[in-house]
Every structure is written in structure tokens, then in C-alpha cells.
Structure 1
Amino acid sequence: MATAGEQPEPPVLERDGFRPGQDMRFTVNGIDRMGGQKMAELFHPENFRSRRDRERTMDEAYALFSKPWFSAQLTHYGIKFSAKAAKGRLWDMLEKSVDLGKCNSVPEPVLRMEQSMRRDYKIVLRKWEADVRAWDAAEKRREDEAFAECTTPGQKANCDMKRFLHHYFMTNGRPDPTRTPKPLVLHGFTKQSVLQVLVEQVPGLHTIEAGPQRTLCIGWDAPSLMSLAFQMDGHAVQAKNNPQDTTWEEAMESHRRYVSQQTKGTTKNGKPAKAARQPFDLERCQGSYVLKCKAVGDFDVDQNTLLTLDISTGKDGTLVAAHDFGFLEGTMILALAEEKLSFLDEIDGKQDSDEEEDTYDYGFNDCDSEDDRRKKGPSLAQVVAAEKRKAKSTNGSAPAKKKRLIPSFSRRVYYRMRGRETGEEGTCWDTAEAGHLDFLSDLGTEFVGLAYAFPYIGRNVEFRGYKIFDVPQKKPQRWSSLVD
């Protein structure tokens, strides 16, 4: 049975060299049966009166006469021969059989075998036709789902250019200027020349490239397209004079390219059919993000800094990230459940009350020696286990068994954050500030974050993140190092 990405192959039924096609015509080794009268003409072109006819027949015979062809015709008419026979021997056998009239009709045993094969082949052919119809329907569903997942015109064009044109510019297969009257900008689209060829086949539709990335614009009204191109080129010049805008625009272009790759049309490239909704996978969050935060921009005097968040694999069902908010950089620990992070709040509380040295750390580096691990303290799993043992010894009995966390179908990820000022003094903000990130899709390409409290700025600070790479570009600092 064919996989999701493969159309079922036509069935093959073969007996004694005979094979039926979908039109129920039989071949032997791919060679059709030729009638006895036609073969007689090929063997005896001298019977033609016209020189032109003789030459034409001789040319045709020259093209056909070969050992496989002689073997196939002998098989078609049920004439026995040795498989080791040379071409000349087979030629003589077939010519004599034609002259004796043995090829004027198909022998009864061959006809019975072909009739039996037709019955059997019709059964497997009907099943194959049903499989093809089912595959076509599933393929269309996959294409529809992949196209529906695309959120921008550029993504839709990358997914399926012909479908993109029908979606925005046609009604019932005919050009329709009223469907999308304003020009579209195809951010992240990379196959300009291919789409431009398709657009030339749609009367009245135009394209133009504009901006520093030569982004393709498409629309019905040529003057409107020209105006849009001038506007984009003007923004490019303005961005050139403003390095901050240029840096951010380059970062967003990287984000658009990344998203376009992730949501690229996939039914023809092998993407599996869309599955039922699954709990959000925390691993999807890993990668490198650029951040936009108005509150930080208003607070920080150096607004040319690109804010970033680089999320890496963590331990015990968490992730660890390196954050850079310009004036503050440090480490985040992220989890799908608030309970996973509560131990960090408890540790901070103990430090404030007992003024104990923070020996806790968020796990170990792979290259740490045993001495380094002893110095750095226990891992997250060891901390949690120690707290459980302490609770048991204090209460004199085992703590009540915790209910298992139900997987969340939302895309909210909770975090705790520590940081250090990026100035000369590098003062640490060692309180584990809390917040959450709401990812906007299962792909984890964009999120809206909310800091319940943000150092030096205030409460309920919103920021947004846009993924540009699957691989984090920075390593997080040790959690325990962010303490004065």
C-alpha cells in the first residue's frame, strides 16, 4: 500500500510473458501483437508495386526487426521456440509461420489465458482505482490544510503558487480584479521568476520587485504597484539612515524567511497529513528569537541593541534560555506548568530570610568534572527530591501524592527570570521574576510575553518574540551565578 506521499502504482499481472494494460490490451515484454497480414508485408516488401511503398515498408521492418520483437510475436501466437535461439533463427521461424498462415488468428489456448487474465486484472484494477481516488482525496485535504495554515500572502505563494493565484485573483478559474483589488507584498517569497511566468498567463495581472530584498509585489493596477514600490524603496532609504530600523527590519526578514520555510507547502514535498491536535510540545520553543518590547525601548537609552531570547534544552521537563533585554541580560527557566518552577521561588525565599549562599544551580554542563559538580551543588531533580525528604521528616509521614499534571492544549509557557545589568558594575537582579509566554502556533515561531514584574520598569510588561533560527545562538549563564 502506498504511503501518504506516494500515489499508488498501477497493478501488474504477468503470466508466461503476457501482461494486460489498463485498456486490457496485451503485450509481451512491452511489445504489442501485430496482425499476420501486416507482418507478411514487412517480410515481403517486394510484393508492393510502388517503389515508395517498398522503401517505406523496408524502413519500418528495419526499425522493428530485433530478437525481442521476433520473440514477442512468436509468443503472442503460441509458437514455441528456444530462448537461446539467435536472431536469425527467430526471424526464419516467424517468417515461415506467417507464410503458413499460423499468425492469421490467435490460437485458442492463448485466447483462454488472456480471458482468464482479464477477469483477474479487472479485480485488482478496480481496487487500484479506488485506492487512487482515496489517495487523491487525501492529497487534496493535505494541500488544503497546508494552504490554510499559511497566514500571509508570501507563505501562501511559497506553499502553492497556482493555488495562491486562484485564491487571491480568480473566481471560478477566471481572472477577477474585484477579488483582491489592492496590491499584495509577498514577504519571504523566494521563487519570483517562476511566479512571474505564471502571472503573465493571467490577463491584467502585474508584478514588480521592490525594497532592499527585492520583494515581489503583485496586483491588478500597474500605477498602484509602482506607487507601492516607490514607497518600499523610500522606506529602505529611510532605514539606511536609521541603523536601528535597519537592524530590526533585517531581523524580521530573517523571521519571515524562517516562518516561510516552516509553513512551506508540503503536500508535494512529503509533509504528512495533519494530525489531531496534540498537547503543545515544549521542545518546539527551542531556538533563537528576536524580541520587541516598547517598555524596554522607552527605558533603555541605547535603543540600537537587538533584544534576543535563545532557548535551549533543559532538564526535568524544563527549558533554559539566555535573555538579553539590552540593559539587563541573564537566564530564564521555562516550563509548561507553574508548579515546575515553584521550587525557584522557595529557594529565593530562603536566601532572603537566612542569607544563605545560593548553592543551587540549574543542572550541569556536559564538560563539568565531578569536583565541579560537587561545587555547583545539586541538580533540579536533586533539589526537588531533597525538598520531599525534608517535608517527610518534618511531618513524620509521607506527603500527599500529587495529582499528575494534565497536558495543556494551550500554548502558554511559564518562566522565572534572573538577570544582571549590562553596565560596568553589572549589578545582579537575583530575584526570580515570574511571567509567561503565549505561543501563537504549534510551530513555536512567535509568542506574546508578559512579565508580571520587570526589573526597574514595573509590572505587567508586555513583549513579543519572533523566531529566526531553530538553534539557539547564545548559551545561558548558570542560574546560581546571577547572585551578588
Structure 2
Amino acid sequence: MDSDREPKLPTTVTRRPFTWGPSDGLKAGGIGRAATDELRLLFRKGAAQFRLDKATRPWITAQLRLYGVPFDIECIVPTPEVEAAEHALRLKCKAAVEKHPQLVRQCKDKNFAKVEGGPTDEAAFDADRFLAKYFLDGLHGRPDRAKTKEPVALSLHVPCYDNLENAIQAIPGLAFHAPRHLGMSVVGWDTELDRGIEREFAKLSSGSDGISDVYTPTREAAYDFNRFLQKYFRVDVNGVATGTQDKEKPSAPVTLYSFFSAGFALVDAEVARMEEKYRLKEEEIRRQDEEWAAEDKARREEAVRSIYRPHHEFVARQKSGAAKPEVFTLDQLVGSYVVRWDGKDGANYSDQVNNQLTLDVFPAKSTHGVTASFSFGFFEGTMLLALSQREVVLLRDEQKKDNPYAESDTKSDLVGTGYGRDEDERADIIDSLGFVISTANASPAGPAHPSTPTDKKRRVGDVADPWGVQAALAKRQKPNVRVKKEEDDDDENVGAKPLVKIKKEEEEEEDAKPLAKTDTEPSRFYFQFAYSIVEGYPDVDDENQNVGYIDFDMSSSSGAGVFHICCWFSGPQHFSIFKVAGEPSGNKEPMSWFEFDGRR
């Protein structure tokens, strides 16, 4: 018969969210209650880090529950008490902010009322309240001409002029006369200001300020030059006579000082007129510069349009309904192009008709690519273009390597080149020199460029590999081969035998594998170029660094690319290309590659 299991002795009892056990005591969420001394140490300033690390969110939640402190565990909304306190504080702060401008205004009014010394001190203390007291119906109010009819004379220092002058200019009808460095100014309505100036001008000759009379004409000229001329010479600033009796003119010249004890003086009679003349001259120069810039911009734009107009005409002649090519072929490259050298290095060539950049691509004579002639400013030469980087290498190795100074039947002339030799003859020649051959850089179509024999062992054809093509070929071809010279007294033939042989079948199998870098852009064409400057001196590219690529659009009539010309520029050069004709120019047949390259 089946018997029931005996019940286990209970170790804990539960009443959510609490548990209790004889050994653990009361817990909440599996966390026991912390002692009050421990909590006091936790919440004091500078508590130990291990106590802070212990106070995690579950630990704090458990302590609140164990001590019976009510809280909202979700913390979605604050309690009504907190919301009420927040609302009350918000209203209190709003009232304080709204009242602040009034308190500031009352404080300034109180301080302005305490100012002693008259209008000058009042204007220096607070320009706005000075104007409100004498000329406005209130602070920042409306003009009140009846409040102060007579102009107000001030003795302000230079730093006080700007604030007062700016405030006066904002009030309609109010004027200000304040010659610099004299400490004398007049504020009044425009209809009354002249009387105030006349009154202050008359005070200058009275000597009431204690300044020597010798400076009086200088101060008068500085304060009001027109009145100075009328007083001493009976003419105004325009030279018009204001008096009829010549005997009233001074019998001796009037001396003016550029500096005197009261400050600087404006001694040049035509300061204002000269400043205006200078301003007009500056405006005329600025206007002429703007006109010249506009004309130059229009000329440059027209030059650019004239250069690229054949491209637009060529595009317009194409059938608009012609299907866009899905696969780009070498035949689509054939034609004549204009080139725009983008970027700061080629900026001078963008709109110069006499430096028009051209590229003429001729029909393919090889399965690997096409050749082209180009003229990029003072660079001109031959370019090899292909669908892939490897094809460019193969096309380059197909170029004629005939040396016009060499005799084809002279074996010594072919040392280091192997031109026209089979593999055994080439190995014999190089072995006799003690060279080390690197087949990693050996081209499929022929040997590398010639090298000069020395007493040191060198690598033949070890050139730069900017595209990684040769590095990829090195992985699929045989490793470096040491050529050993063996002498046989009984045999007349002296040759080199490779220590490592690679089967032809293995080579073909490796050649069938793709390059390490695949060409994923169907509209991209790669190129290498050889060139000379217009003076006729070629720049030999020993390390095959003059390379680049072009990305054509789907219409194959324009594109953009990048090329490197390390001999002249440290960084990549960006350019754009525009097709202007479907056939190349007949007078721009590409010259032989090695006519520019120079490595014979």
C-alpha cells in the first residue's frame, strides 16, 4: 500500500513580502533588516565605499519595508503632499520673479534721488533717469518738450558719452552736442540746441574755468569749428564770408595747439569732411572690387561653360531612350573627354581654356585594356586603362619594350632584361651575374624592367605594388627561386637550374583563383599612366605609383575618379571626367609607353 510522506520541519514561514525563520529572522525579498547603527553610518557624510556599494536598490527597498516606511515602489507619481508643496513653491517663485524688476526700479529711483551735483552727476549716474527727469514724461516714456525747454549743459567725461548718446538717439527730437576730450556737452531739443551751443561757446572766452587764455582759440575750435571761423575769420566751414568789414579780421595768425592742459583739441579744420571723403573713397573702392569680382566670376563661369559645353551637346545627341548598359566594357571608354581637376592642387586648371585638360581613349588593341593620351596642364603622357587592376599590369607588360640603341643579336645587351629569351636563357644570363630572382613580381607577359648589374645581389623587377596585385600573384605562383650556377668541365653549356619546380598544372589552377582584392564596382576602370612635363622631361615611375581609377555613371558619359602622382603631390588627386565625343581626337595618338616611362 502507498504510504504518505512525513511532513518536513518548517524552516521559514512567509507572509508577503516578508519571510521569517528561526535562524534568519525577519527578511524582505531575502534581505535581512540592517541595524540602526549601520544605517546611521551609511547615511553620514563621507560614508565608507563598501557601505555605499551595499546600498543597492533592492537593499534600500527591503529596509524601507522592514522598518515600515511607506513608499511608492513604482514611483510613477509623487504623493499629494509633495505635489502640494511643489505647487506652492512654484507660485512663490513666480511672484518673486515678477516683483524683482519693480524692486530693482525702486532701488535705482531711490539711489538716483540721492545724487547731488546737478545734471552732470545725474547723467553720469543713470542716463535713462536723467532723460526721464528733464525730457520725458516718465522712465522710458514719451518726449515732453514742455518739461525742459532750455538745453542742459553737461561736463561729462569721455566714458559717459556713449551711454548718454545712445539713449538720446532713441528719443525723437532730442539732440546732443558733445566734442570729445573737452568735457563740455549740451543736451536739448533740436529747435533749441543751437542756443545752448552758442551759450557754452561764449563761456570759453570768459576764462571762468581757470584755463589760460592762450588755449582759448584752440578750445573754441575744438568745441565748434564753424563758430571759431566766424569769430576770427568771418567765414564758415565752406569758406563763405559771414562779415563785410575786412578790418574785423585778425591782424595776426591764430595759433592752435594739438595738446593743452585741458585735453586734446581738434585742430584740423576738415576732420569731418576728410572722414566723409575717406568713407566715400572706401565705398568707391569696395564697389569697384565687387564689380570686378562679379565680372571675374561671370568670366570664369562662361569659361567653364565653354569648356564643358561640348559635353552637354554630346549628351543631348545621344538617344534619350537608349537602354542603360548593365555591364561596362572597354568599348564604352573609347572617345574624347575633358577633365576637371578637383581640389586645391588642381584648382588653377578648372576654368583656364589654354590649360584645358583632355583625355583621348583609343580603340582596344589588346584583350586586357585600352590606351589613351592625356594632357593635364603641364603633365602629358600615355595612360593604360582596364577593367581590373590585374589587367592593367598585364596591359603594361604588353607594351613595346624595343630599345632603339640595342642590337637584338647581342646577348650582353639583354642582360638583366631577358627580352626575347626563353626561360632557360634568361636563367643563364641572370645566374652569371649572381642575381636573386623574385618571381612574385614577375609579370605574366614578360620579364621585369632592366636592372644595372652591381657587385651586390639584387632583385630583378622588384617594384612597388600599390594595388596588391603582385602580392596576390605571389601566393599563387612559385616562391623565390635561388638560381645556382653549376660548372661542368666536360660540358660547354653553363646555365642555371631552379632548385624548386612548380608544375604547370598547379600554376594554371592557381591562376584561375580570384585576386585577393575583388572589383565590386561594375562601372570602375583602373589605370596607370606615364608622363612628362611640357618641357619634355619624363618623370620615371620606378615603383609604379602613378595609378588611379574612374567610376563612370550609368550613362558612361561622365564620371569621377582619383589618381596618385607621387612625384608632385603627396595625397590623392580627385578629378571629374566628361565625354565630348564618341571618337578620340586623331591628332592625339598615344605615344609609346616607354617613350615616357624611360625604363628600357
Pairwise same-fold verdict (TM > 0.5) = no
What's the TM-score, normalizing by structure 1? 0.37
Q: Bigger relative contact order, structure 1 or 2, given CA contacts below 8 A and separation 6+?
A: 1
Bigger Rg, which one = 2
